[in-house]
């Protein structure tokens, strides 16, 4: 995702749920339990899926948000970063009915991703040239039908994390001909956690769901690599090959949802997700004076709320609409170029089609307002001062999924 990290659709933790969901705009997450998406979000819902079922999903995201440097208040030349490019987010889920009471499943998904490829020449290159932090999760789980109304689930999180950070180094702030050096930090590793879920069915038309994802701590010690950096030579030699921790926690998530179908077969859903984002790790590394500077992230815990409405068009087609709100995860006065999240609003519309053989597929279109996300780095004699905000701050996501029943 090639803008200053506008939440790689839309970045973490609860935010990818804006797209990776059974309904438009992140709706139908925790209680609908009518296809294999429930394996990823609330595995207790597998008790509603008969036999063996597979679901695959791909989300194509185009982010139009562009960071606009305020050149009147910025002290470094170079202007704004590169324009964003599209990204594809995949997911695959499988559920298997073992007997009347026990069910098993597995989900392979990308629960989070942030990224920016801003370029080596823009005004903020001494804060970030490019940055990526991507998580890939394998979630095996089992579900048990305690009673006709109550189902519970438990599972594991096996999470791979990969990170790459590139930053330019100002070799001589008083000589524009000195050229820039480069600092690169690469890391990857694995972390482990667990998931819990519950689904209570008051009737076939009304149910509530609860889901919990534990904190995961991937081992991400990045090795520092300097290129063409000459200021000061002794310090660069000391730091070359040193390791730093770039992201130490994937925060815990608590979610709840309700589903209800009316007598006319119209359906409504409401879901709420709390994310302990204040525990998230590091996203920026740059050289200040004679040492590596790793600024405090300053993230906040936040809520995500989604709502959905679906209705039948004919016996094999269903239309749906949804909306989502994501609370601002980062205060304006501490926001940096690592993860530039702001308050997010979104709407979506979709259609579900059931084929003659029982398989079905979904097509959803989501439009998201990702916020202005203003940034003011403050002034430093080496990295300078960069100030600006995001223009045209919206993104479009097309979600295609197919379910083999």
Domain assignment present for residue 2? The answer is no
Q: How far apart are CA 142 and CA 39, in angstroms?
A: 9
**Residue 238: partners with Cβ closer than 8 Å, 6 or more residues away:** none
User: Is the residue at 270 inside a domain?
Assistant: yes
Position 214 scores a pLDDT of 94
Find the CATH number of the domain harbouring 357.
2.40.160.60
Instruction: Report the range of poorest mean pLDDT among 37-46, 55-64, 217-226, 259-268.
Output: 217-226
**Residues above pLDDT 70, as percent of the chain:** 83
Q: What is the pLDDT of residue 218?
A: 82
Indicate whether 13 pLDDT > 50: no
The encoded tokens of residue 53 equal 């079922």
Domain contains 60: yes
3-state secondary structure of 62: strand
Residue 120 lies in a domain: yes
**Contacts (Cβ under 8 Å, ≥6 apart) of 8:** 1, 61, 87, 112, 113, 114, 115, 134
Helix (H) or strand (E) run with residue 125 in it: none
> Which pLDDT does position 2 carry in this prediction?
34
Residue 385 pLDDT > 60, yes or no?
yes
CB of 195 closer than 8 Å to CB of 213: yes
Tokens in use for 227?
Answer: 């290129």
Q: What residues make up the domain containing 322? A: 7-404
Is it the case that residue 285 has pLDDT exceeding 80?
Answer: no
Say whether pLDDT at 56 is over 90.
yes
The percent of residues above 90 in pLDDT, for the chain, comes to 49
Q: What's the whole-number average pLDDT of the chain?
A: 84
314, 303 contact by CB (below 8 A): no
CB 386 within 8 A of CB 392: no
Q: Quick check: is 330 in a domain?
A: yes
1 located within any domain: no
What domain count does the chain have? 1
Do the domain assignments include residue 299?
yes
Structural tokens at position 370: 């990702």
Contact call for residues 114 and 339 (beta carbons, < 8 A): yes
Dig out the tokens for 338 from the structure: 């690592």
pLDDT of residue 234: 59
Is residue 296's pLDDT more than 60? no
């Amino acid at each position: 995702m090639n803008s200053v990290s506008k939440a790689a659709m839309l970045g973490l933790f609860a935010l990818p749920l804006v797209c990776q969901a059974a309904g438009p705009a992140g709706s139908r997450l925790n209680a609908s339990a009518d296809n294999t998406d429930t394996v990823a979000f609330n595995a207790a819902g597998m008790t509603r899926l008969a036999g063996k079922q597979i679901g695959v999903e791909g989300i194509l995201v185009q982010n139009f948000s562009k960071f606009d440097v305020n050149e009147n208040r910025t002290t470094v030349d170079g202007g704004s970063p590169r324009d964003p490019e599209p990204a594809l987010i995949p997911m695959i889920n499988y559920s298997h009915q073992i007997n009347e009471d026990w069910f098993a499943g597995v989900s392979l998904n990308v629960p989070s991703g942030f990224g920016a490829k801003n370029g080596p020449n823009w005004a903020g290159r001494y804060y970030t040239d490019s940055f990526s932090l991507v998580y890939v999760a394998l979630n095996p789980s089992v579900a048990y039908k305690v009673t006709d109304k109550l189902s519970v689930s438990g599972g594991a999180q096996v999470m791979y994390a990969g990170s790459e950070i590139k930053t330019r180094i100002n070799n001589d702030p008083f000589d524009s001909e000195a050229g820039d050096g480069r600092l690169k930090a690469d890391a990857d590793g694995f972390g482990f956690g667990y998931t819990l879920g519950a689904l209570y069915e008051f009737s076939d038309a009304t149910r509530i769901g609860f889901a919990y994802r534990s904190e995961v701590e991937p081992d991400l010690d990045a090795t520092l690599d300097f290129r063409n950096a000459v200021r000061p030579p002794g310090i660069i030699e000391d730091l070359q090959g040193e390791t730093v921790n770039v992201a130490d926690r994937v925060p815990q998530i608590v979610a709840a949802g309700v589903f209800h179908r009316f007598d006319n077969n119209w359906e409504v859903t409401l879901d709420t997700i709390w994310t302990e984002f204040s525990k998230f790790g590091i996203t920026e590394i740059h050289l200040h004076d004679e040492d590596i500077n790793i600024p405090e992230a300053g993230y906040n815990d936040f809520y995500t709320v989604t709502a959905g409405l679906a209705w039948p068009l004919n016996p094999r087609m269903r239309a749906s609409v949804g909306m989502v709100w994501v609370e601002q995860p980062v205060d304006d006065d501490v926001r940096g170029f690592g993860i530039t999240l702001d308050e997010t609003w979104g709407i979506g519309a979709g259609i579900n089609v059931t084929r003659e053989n029982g398989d079905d597929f979904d097509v959803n279109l989501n439009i998201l307002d990702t916020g202005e996300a203003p940034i003011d780095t403050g002034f430093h004699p080496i990295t300078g001062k960069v100030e600006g905000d995001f223009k045209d701050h919206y993104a479009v996501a097309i979600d295609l999924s197919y379910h083999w029943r």
